[in-house]
Amino acid sequence: MTEIKKNQIITELAEALQNSDYIKFVSYFEENAIFEIPFGINDGTILKGLAEIKKHFESIASNPLSKLIHIEEIMTKSYHSNEVTTVEYFTKGRSVKAGGVFHIQSSIALIRFGESGIVHYKDFPNTIGIAKKAGALDQLAASWKPDQKD
């Protein structure tokens, strides 16, 4: 895939996230793609295949915490290497709860592209920073599960 095509997909991914259009976001993944969040709140997450990725984003769309911020714009900076594209996401928006405007580096993603789309997306979201801007740190902390020992 050309760098121009990769940049076009990255722009469209940002637009999809900005508009909470998760169906469009997921449409850029190949059938056997992997979506990974290695540093998730309750352990890491690895989703294998388009069906699992779609299900994950459907749950995000229905999560009440996602309604606590209004996204006005998502901007990106991309860095290409032979195999992996690094994308920095920056979100400008406002907190519905607190009413304040914010601008934050919201995520870094490592993306591997195949011939027709994304084959591996490794996401490093700024979960705590976003929750703080949304006024939802307490809700985020309440969602953490204590470590379970065998």
Complete DSSP assignment for 72-127: EEEEEEEEE-SS-EEEEEEEEEEETTT--EEEEEEEEEEEEE-SSSEEEEEEEE-H
Phi, psi of 67 (to 5 degrees): -90, 0
* Beta bridge partners of residue 79, listed in sequence order: 86
CA distance 68 to 95: 6
> What residue segments make up the domains of the chain, in order of their start?
3-140
Burial class (CB in 10 A: 0-12, 13-18, 19+), 85: buried
CA distance 90 to 105: 4
What strands, in cross-sheet order, belong to the sheet with 101-113? 45-48, 29-37, 118-125, 101-113, 85-95, 69-80
The predicted pLDDT at position 45 comes to: 87
Least confident stretch, 53-57, 60-64, 85-89: 60-64
Global pTM value: 0.84
| CATH no., domain 3-140 | 3.10.450.50
Return the higher-pLDDT residue of 9 and 69.
9
Is pLDDT of 65 > 80? no
- Report yes or no: 115 and 40 within 8 Å, Cβ to Cβ: no
Residue 116 vs residues 33, 94, 96: alpha-carbon distances, Å: 11, 35, 38
Is pLDDT of 16 > 80? yes
CA distance 123 to 10: 13
Least confident stretch, 13-17, 42-46, 90-94, 110-114: 42-46
